[in-house]
Chain A
């Protein structure tokens, strides 16, 4: 499809001799919310790391605006408009909330100024209150908000979110997921990597399910049945239930 903003074609990734991804075909269009689900070890995080240049892959395996970008360094991907909320939040400890956000403002992708400090504080009002606090003093949910805000201030055209619900209380997860529609309303494409199938299905337009380094199911989130997902998620042998 020519409308794809970010796509991968036969993406293969390796950790040394160990092959973690076996030919992933994936795409996301502007303004679309796509979920990527799968169990632990299915290769979801490896997929994001390959897209972001943390794991080196061949150039033509990752296309941004149709141009090969596989293997480009992480900071180049950010400059081209791909932002990421990394797994485990990965904030800059020893720095204040606002300084964490400013690092992203300092290195935002050009040609776009959708997000400002003020808009991020509007999205997550608690961050404005805590803006002078060191990030390590914040709760897990607040840290996740900083991590999302930081990625948004890179002014991404596509935002990759790696397990943003992990380790958070259900109430906090709802608060964070409530921000998704206003982010995509601004035209930003979103890729949600999740283990929580229900959450991912509800928040996304389309979804991909991964198992052991391959895509086992893909389609419109609203049309896919729970049974199909559980077969794709755990493998065919577990589907009988």
Chain B
């Protein structure tokens, strides 16, 4: 029974990881921009969420409505102000620029919010659960999983069937050829990054409700997002979702083998995928 419980809790944890990974799947998987500050942006948004909910008494759902547009605006400015200047066939300039941004964000957050861990008050929803036999299923993790599934389906459909999605895929395939076909790649990229960071707004609220956040937590979230995208296969949106599930289940099962082994189990599964199926589950070899 504890293995079934581990599996279920892992899937639910995967729902949260999917929300980190979706934005990464767009930026790293599709646009091939390496954004080292991905995790720090999520933590920044969560801390802004903590302050907003404490100062104005916003409930979790109102907070989502406020925080997601803020997140999208940050993403748009990030792409227009920094990343569009360093995007090229060479990934190194974007790595260096966002690595610098990552350090700067962590220091700024320490300065503003101190190094304490904080969380977003959820008005009881964070403790609510259903009991099925001996297994407890949290209400909040189920909401997280549903939101993650809806976001994944939405982004996947956006990429496949819309003008914006085609323009983004075209720009990612050949930026100069896209411009010669009438696409304005810089505008398309700015909206795509707005979307990617906007999704982090969801992740930030749920992370803050589900557990705690501190200014130095970003890099760990970054690794989970990278791993989920690579396990699932670069460029595949549902792949990133599945990769998040694999990561969540590996950690939850690992945790039940030995509480100290949980996080490591996730990394080991990631390394195994790199060794035996480097193109990822949905990737084309």
Contact = CB atoms under 8 A, between A and B. Distances in A.
A54 B167 contact: no
A104 B179 CA distance: 10
A91 interface: yes
Given A94-B169, A94-B235, A95-B170, A103 B184 contact: no
Interface in A210-239: none
Interface in A66-93: 73-75, 78-79, 84, 86, 90-93
Contact of A95 (B163, B169, B180, B182): B169
A171 B210 CA distance: 66
Given A75-B182, A78-B182, A90 B177 contact: yes
B64 to A, nearest CB: 31
Interface string B61-78: 000000000000000000
Contacts of A103: 166-167, 170, 178, 181-183
Given A106-B167, A107-B167, A75 B173 contact: no
B177 A104 contact: no
A102 interface: yes
Interface in B216-256: 235
A12 B10 CA distance: 63
A100 B170 CA distance: 8
Most buried by A among B167, B170, B178, B181: B181
Interface residues of B, number: 17
A67 to B, nearest CB: 19
Most buried by A among B174, B179, B182: B182
A133 interface: no
Contacts of B177: 86, 90-92
Interface in A38-63: 52, 54
A92 B173 contact: yes
A109 B179 CA distance: 13
A143 interface: no
Nearest to A106: B163
B180 A92 contact: no
A69 B249 CA distance: 57
Contacts of B181: 78, 103-104, 107, 150-151, 154
Given A75-B179, A103-B178, A92 B169 contact: yes
A99 interface: yes
11 contacts: A54-B179, A54-B180, A78-B182, A84-B180, A92-B177, A93-B173, A95-B169, A103-B183, A106-B163, A106-B167, A107-B167
Interface of A: 52, 54, 73-75, 78-79, 84, 86, 90-95, 99-100, 102-104, 106-109, 150-151, 154
